[in-house]
Every structure is written in C-alpha cells, then in structure tokens.
C-alpha cells in the first residue's frame, strides 16, 4: 500500500483517527504531532473568512445545488464562469 496520511487526535495516551483507515492489515506507522493551532489557523485568514461568508450567504438564499456524483460536481464547477458559482 502506498503511504497514507490520516488525521487524528491524541487524547489521554491514545491516538484516535478522525477518518476511516482504508486498510485492515498490520502495518508500520509514523506518528507526527503537530501544533494544535496548525490545523485551525487557516480559518482566520481573510480568504477563508470571505469564502465562509459567501458560502453562508449562498446557503441562506438557496443559491446551492446538489450533485449525484463527484464527477458531476466537478463538471458543474468547471462549467461555471468563475469556477466557484454552481448556480447559473
């Protein structure tokens, strides 16, 4: 199996995966501890805040669309003028 990274947390002496691990075999792992704020710092950047405000506005105003598959979602995104807006 190729290398795989899975997010998790360390709590009270145990490592808890936050994602499914697509492997049931015994395998070697490397555990890397990151600064707790590393994963959260992006939420405070201006670009993220602006995107969050836009997403919240779109949700509240019904400017959303569902896709039945990942391929369909990418087709909708790639077919839009700005690459972000999914509703014509």
Mean pLDDT over 63-86 rounds to: 78
Q: What is the mean pLDDT of residues 62-76?
A: 88
- Tens of pLDDT, residue by residue over 3-28, are 788 888 888 888 888 888 888 888 88
Q: Please check whether residue 87 is in contact with residue 65, taking contact to mean a CB–CB distance below 8 angstroms.
A: yes
pLDDT the model gives residue 39: 62
Positive or negative, the Cα torsion across 35, 36, 37, 42?
positive
User: pLDDT band for position 61 (50/70/90)?
Assistant: very high
Residue 38 CA to residue 48 CA, distance in Å, equals: 15
Report the relative pairing of strands 8-11 and 14-17 from DSSP bridges. Answer: antiparallel
The total of other beta-carbon atoms located within 10 Å of residue 80's CB is: 13
pTM to 2 decimal places? 0.40
Cα Rg of the chain, angstroms: 19
* pLDDT tens-digit map of 33-60: 877 656 666 676 788 888 889 999 998 9
- Does the pLDDT of residue 85 top 80, yes or no? no
């Amino acid at each position: 199996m190729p290398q795989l990274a899975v997010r998790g947390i360390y709590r009270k002496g145990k490592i808890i995966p936050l994602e499914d691990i697509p492997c049931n075999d015994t395998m070697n792992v490397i555990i890397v501890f990151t600064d707790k704020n590393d994963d959260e710092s992006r939420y405070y950047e201006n670009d993220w805040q602006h995107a969050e405000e836009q997403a919240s506005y779109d949700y509240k105003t019904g400017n959303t669309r569902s896709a039945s598959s990942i391929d369909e979602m990418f087709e909708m995104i790639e077919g839009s003028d700005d690459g972000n807006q999914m509703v014509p």
